[in-house]
Amino acid sequence: MVSDIELGQIALHGHEMSYRRAGSGPVIVMIHGMAGSSTTWRFVMPTLAEHFTIVAPDLVGHGQSAKPRGDYSLGALASSVRDLLVELGHERATLVGQSLGGGVAMQFAYQFPERAERLVLVSSGGLGEDVALLLRLLTLPGAEYVLPVTCQRWAHDAGATVFGWLRGIGLRPGAHLEEMWESYGSLADAPTRAAFLQTLRSVVDVAGQRVSATDRLHLAGELPTLVVWGDRDNIIPVQQAYETQTAIPGSRLEIFRGVGHFPHCEDPERFCDVLLDFMHSTSSETAGSSASESRRPPNPNR
């Protein structure tokens, strides 16, 4: 098993961007969700890196990357991922995006079709209006004053200690809960909190997701596409997965039973099996090279 994961940082347009990289061979870019970081892929990176080069960035405004006051739209985030790949010397990649990362992956495929080999959408945003009530409420005015009170570092650390105790006696808290708790903990940091709100409000409002690719999904027919979802996702409902498969000709759908918003954390072994099968059974030869303006993948930012 590959154990050497490179932790890197690179300056892009005056701002530091952090990333994790491991393995060799064809490139898979793994893009995390809202208030997350590249650490979300920790359970699957070692296995996948036995077969491929894995690049997992911390999106700008997340993790160890810079958190400037700036543009947090899907287009800007997708461009930063492209710039990272260029700096690392990778011309083309398969895009794997979870939650917000799915929207970024779709935007990347739209903006840079010649660089996109395949598309994997994991509990992805940008595929329908419905989204968790809490996220909608956080887009309202005043959230800037509520979050500092509710997101306290001591509370996160206390919870992390409890998780450690449970693991110490042989009990493992649900991976879904642990991922949500890490996201909560990241918001105790003021710059991260500000970036989170800017990012959230660029894709969600009080009515739901405000950025959608649903009317253009048919354009992704030439791009090998895999949709992965948990049937107990309480952030973005699984119904959007079924609708997406119907809308993208030839796409594959994998529903993880008993799994929530983080299939790659909650059932990492199956996630790796599904992704490896998809990679080995699809061709990337025509995906990026034949893309044209009339056949571009969907743009969730329009």
Q: In this model, does residue 290 exceed pLDDT 50?
A: no
Per-residue pLDDT, averaged over 212-234, amounts to 84
Tell me the residue type at 98.
Answer: Q
Specify burial of residue 142 (Cβ count, 10 A radius: 0-12, 13-18, 19+).
Answer: exposed
Count Cβ atoms below 10 Å from residue 76 Cβ, excluding itself.
18
Catalytic residue among 73, 233, 264, 267: 233
Q: In this model, does residue 27 exceed pLDDT 80?
A: yes
More confident residue, 190 or 201: 201
Give the per-residue pLDDT at 291. Answer: 40
Of 60-64, 106-110, 232-236, 297-301, least confident by mean pLDDT is 297-301
Give the Å distances, CA to CA, from 259 to 39, 171, 176, 228, 278.
Answer: 19, 18, 8, 11, 20
Q: In this model, does residue 53 exceed pLDDT 80?
A: yes
Q: In this model, does residue 188 exceed pLDDT 80?
A: no
Give the per-residue pLDDT at 95. Answer: 98
pLDDT tens figures, 132-159: 998 999 899 988 777 765 655 534 444 3
Catalytic residue among 99, 124, 183, 202: 99
Please say if 233 is a catalytic residue: yes
Give the per-residue pLDDT at 125. Answer: 95
Please say if 157 is a catalytic residue: no
Give the per-residue pLDDT at 166. Answer: 41
Q: Which residues in the chain belong to E strands, given as ranges?
A: 6-12, 15-22, 27-31, 53-57, 93-98, 116-122, 204-205, 208-209, 225-230, 252-256
More confident residue, 148 or 171: 148
Please say if 18 is a catalytic residue: no
Per-residue pLDDT, averaged over 72-78, amounts to 94
CATH architecture of the domain covering 6-130+209-295: 3-Layer(aba) Sandwich (3.40)
pTM of the model: 0.86
Per-residue pLDDT, averaged over 75-95, amounts to 96
Per-residue pLDDT, averaged over 233-258, amounts to 95
Catalytic residue among 51, 176, 261, 264: 261
How far is Cα 271 from Cα 265, in angstroms, rounded to an integer?
9
Contact at 8 Å (CB) between 31 and 63? no
Q: In this model, does residue 165 exceed pLDDT 60?
A: no
Q: For Cα atoms 265, 271, 274, give the angle at the middle one, nearest 5 degrees.
A: 170
Q: Which residues pair with 205 in a beta bridge?
A: 208
